[in-house]
Structure 1
Amino acid sequence: MTQFGSGWAWLVMKNNTLEIMKTSNADTPIAHGFKPLLTVDVWEHAYYLDYQNDRAGYLDVFFNNLVNWEFVNSNLV
């Protein structure tokens, strides 16, 4: 929710610890040496047609209904 404008939210592995990070534009955690496990597009084009300006509603549906958490967990290895 705190990403201003265009960008991404990531669940990453950093030094054997799970962390949440955000990047803007085309930046990626890989460029910083982190292992991405999950990402969500928070650019307005990802949700505007269905959610208008309701980024929080979009993220709620994404995390509670769309993410395959078993697959994310399998990427920890």
Structure 2
Amino acid sequence: MSRRPTRGGQDAMTFDPEGLTRTQREGDACVVCHKKWPRPRIRIGRLPDEAALFACPECADALLQDPRENVRPLPRRAAFF
């Protein structure tokens, strides 16, 4: 998987199409849980041929976590000199 910048400043993941079903590759099913209804609307990534892939809101939240929420500042005494 590679990451490239997309709209909104988020990264789009490039997925290998071999592990996806036809409905997932066509954007009619979530790339994670295969849910078809309601149709997934959150663009989560793309295929190597630039076709868009979508995820349901629950799966998108898991895949698109804000990396800043995992960053904790070091205590001043632990900083390197």
Same fold (TM over 0.5): no
The structure with more radius of gyration = 2
What is the TM-score when the length of structure 2 is the normalising length? 0.28
Specify which structure has the higher proportion of helix. Answer: 1
What is the TM-score when the length of structure 1 is the normalising length? 0.28
